[in-house]
């Protein structure tokens, strides 16, 4: 069995250092919130399994072999030859503004149904990691998320949900309605501070403000709420009333996309290692900083013996 099972859409991605233009040079990679988390975990030595669907095309093969190369277990993944692998383009439109374009409607990943996940659920895992993005891909993926969450909950796994709201995929209202019935199965809810109103928006009495939102979430059955605050760090609260916050590590900012996924990988790694809430938050914050300080979503993530690397003096050469 895996330590962590996750699933969702992974795409062929092109990253442009400037606006989209004829002849612009792009960097080719693969991107997907859930596979980013799986890679982060695998680099730290955890057994991470990814169960998504790709098309029977070259991008699909690139995704599978990249994940395998990173040590992610892709045996629960599938190929749908009748549909294409999804794609995304990321333009650095101006220095600190990145714009994303998606080609994911009718993609192979959007054809996911609960049946595709059944074998992976039978195999079992300690942790199931879900994100709101998968819920936005269509009715099949949404149903797959619900069934996986219910199964994992019933079997005593830890269920983590990263809200990961994507405005280009659905409205905050639709997201709130889809996520609400999931919460009874969720152990750890992870959200950016600005995503808290998205999850609590469909509550009978939507709470106002972060403190009230976290209270309301902890009253649903969620045991821990972890709030990501970008360059400000992160905060933790649990049902027992324990609170902790960490300031962000001071690192040069290269590319902030993927920080949230790296953060989730760090948090789950800490959970698997049996760390305290403070230790989990530290590891999450450390992985988030690695993602921010390097190009790409996951390419710069650390191996276990590199976890302390960011404490080296700025500009240091390690020799």
Chain contacts with ligand KDG (rule: CB under 6 A): 31-33, 36, 133, 166, 257-258, 260-261, 297
31 binds, among ligand KDG, ligand ADP, none (CB under 5 to 8 A by kind): ligand KDG
Beta-bridged to residue 277, according to DSSP, are none
Whether 262 contacts 302, CB under 8 Å: no
Residue closer to ligand ADP by CB (options 20, 249) is 249
- C-alpha to C-alpha distance for 97 and 194, rounded to whole angstroms: 18
Q: State the nearest-atom distance from the C-beta of 215 to ligand KDG, in Å.
A: 27
Tell me how far the alpha carbon of residue 166 is from its chain's centroid.
12
Set 3, 162, 255, 261: catalytic member: 261
Q: State the nearest-atom distance from the C-beta of 233 to ligand ADP, in Å.
A: 6
Window 166-205: residues binding ligand ADP (CB under 6 A): 192
Q: Which two tokens stand for residue 263?
A: 């953060």
**Residue 297 appears among annotated catalytic residues:** no
Q: State the nearest-atom distance from the C-beta of 190 to ligand ADP, in Å.
A: 8
Window 203-262: residues binding ligand ADP (CB under 6 A): 228-231, 233-234, 248-249, 251, 253, 256, 259-260
- C-alpha to C-alpha distance for 62 and 69, rounded to whole angstroms: 10
148 binds, among ligand KDG, ligand ADP, none (CB under 5 to 8 A by kind): none
Q: Is the dihedral of CA 191, 36, 84, 53 positive or negative?
A: negative
- C-alpha to C-alpha distance for 282 and 52, rounded to whole angstroms: 29
Q: Which residues of 293-309 are buried (b: 16+ CB within 10 A; e: fewer)?
A: bbebbbebbbeeeebee
Q: State the nearest-atom distance from the C-beta of 9 to ligand KDG, in Å.
A: 6
Beta-bridged to residue 36, according to DSSP, are none
- C-alpha to C-alpha distance for 93 and 17, rounded to whole angstroms: 8
288 makes contact with ligand ADP (CB under 6 A): yes
Residues that bind ligand ADP (CB under 6 A): 192, 228-231, 233-234, 248-249, 251, 253, 256, 259-260, 263, 285, 288-289, 292
Q: Which residues are catalytic?
A: 261
């Amino acid at each position: 069995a895996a330590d962590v099972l996750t699933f969702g859409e992974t795409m062929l991605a092109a990253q442009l250092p400037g606006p989209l233009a004829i002849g612009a040079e792009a960097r080719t990679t693969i991107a997907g919130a859930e596979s980013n988390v799986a890679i982060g975990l695998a680099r730290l030595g955890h057994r991470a399994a990814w169960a998504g669907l790709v098309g029977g095309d070259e991008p699909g093969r690139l995704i599978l072999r990249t994940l395998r190369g990173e040590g992610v277990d892709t045996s629960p993944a599938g190929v749908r030859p009748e549909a294409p692998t999804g794609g995304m383009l990321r333009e650095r439109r101006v220095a600190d503004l990145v714009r994303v374009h998606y080609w994911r409607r009718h993609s192979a990943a959007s054809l996911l149904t609960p049946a595709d996940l059944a074998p992976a659920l039978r195999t079992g895992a300690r942790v199931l990691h879900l994100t709101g993005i998968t819920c936005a891909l269509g009715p099949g993926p949404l149903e797959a998320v619900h069934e996986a969450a219910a199964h994992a909950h019933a079997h005593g796994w830890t269920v983590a949900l990263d809200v990961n709201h994507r405005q280009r995929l659905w409205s905050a209202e639709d997201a709130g309605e889809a996520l609400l019935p999931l919460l009874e199965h969720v152990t750890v809810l992870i959200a950016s501070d600005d995503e808290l109103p998205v999850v609590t928006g469909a509550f009978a009495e939507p709470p106002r403000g972060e403190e009230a939102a976290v209270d309301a979430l902890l009253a649903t059955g969620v045991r821990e709420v972890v709030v990501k605050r970008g360059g400000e760090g992160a905060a933790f609260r649990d049902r027992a009333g324990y609170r902790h916050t960490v300031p962000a590590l001071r690192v040069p900012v290269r590319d902030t996309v993927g920080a949230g996924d790296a953060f989730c990988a760090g948090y789950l790694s800490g959970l698997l290692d049996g760390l305290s809430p403070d230790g989990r938050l530290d590891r999450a914050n450390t992985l988030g900083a690695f993602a921010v300080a390097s190009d790409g979503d996951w390419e710069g993530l650390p191996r276990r013996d590199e976890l302390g690397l960011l404490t080296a003096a700025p500009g240091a050469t390690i020799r």
